[in-house]
Amino acid sequence: MSDPIITMRGIRTQFGPKVIHDGLDLDVMRGEILGIVGGSGTGKSVLLRSIVGLLTPAAGQITVKGIDVHRASGREHALLGRSLGVMFQDGALFSTLTVRENVEVPMRRLDLPAGVRSELADLKISMAGLPWDAGGKYPSELSGGMRKRAGLARALALDPELVFLDEPTAGLDPIGASEFDRLIRGLTDTLGLTVFLVTHDLDTLHACCDRIAVLAEKRVLATGSIDQLRRIDHPWVHEYFNGPRARAAMEQTARKDD
């Protein structure tokens, strides 16, 4: 396995008296799609936001590409900013901007002519699987699945090495979710991305992820493949990876492989 591109050691996250993570350790390996799962309140999205610098843990250290995220200099923050792309739930697009203008937002920190920004935005929109005319539309004119693809296009705007996806298939119908899973896997393989993927979707875990990290008891309880996690003797982990929905996802994956 390759070297870690993200390392987390001794992470403690809390909001007032409520402790979300306590002594959390995790490595994300370069080039992998790592799925993050856990029950409600285990802080999956909180962990994502901590890695990208939007939240500061009460204790511990997070390094990305060897840079301490929460002690970085201004120059180091700028370098990290170009290396990371983030897609939040439902795309989190600016409602008053067109899709093309939304994708251009990260590019505005670069000294690029407006015409070049527009052409690059159209390229990212196409890479995300949107039709040619989507760039001129506003988020309110798009379906939920198209908004997610637009959010992915914006996450790819600066050709990042690392992409963070927060529940990318939530709310999509099974066909739309399956298409998005294939898109993520294809882009990762083609562009050599590392993907940190927060999800509760078992189909996505089967279709996309190289490894899975389980958040429970305020830490990373276990990491591994689905087969490895199915053998762990923990109530939540056992139910999640061996319950009826897990069996259905496994059967669907088996049918696709036949």
pLDDT at 228: 95
Q: At residue 90, does pLDDT exceed 70?
A: no
Secondary structure of residue 158 in the 3-state scheme: coil
Q: Pairing mode, if any, of strands 33-38 and 194-198? A: parallel
**Structure confidence at residue 132 as a pLDDT band (50, 70, 90):** confident
Count other C-beta atoms under 10 Å from residue 161's C-beta.
18
Percent of the chain whose pLDDT exceeds 90: 80
What's the mean pLDDT in 82-100?
A: 89
Q: At residue 2, does pLDDT exceed 80?
A: no
The pLDDT tens digits of the residues spanning 38-71 come to 999 999 999 999 999 999 999 999 999 999 999 8
From residue 224, give the alpha-carbon distance in Å to each of 36, 38, 100, 231, 245: 11, 14, 38, 11, 19
Which residue in the block uniquely carries the two structure tokens 């493949």? 225
Task: Give the pTM.
Answer: 0.92
| Average pLDDT across the chain, whole number | 92
pLDDT at 92: 82
Secondary structure of residue 59 in the 3-state scheme: strand
Count other C-beta atoms under 10 Å from residue 5's C-beta.
20
The pLDDT tens digits of the residues spanning 176-190 come to 999 999 999 999 999
Structural domain boundaries in the chain: 93-159
What's the mean pLDDT in 105-130?
A: 93
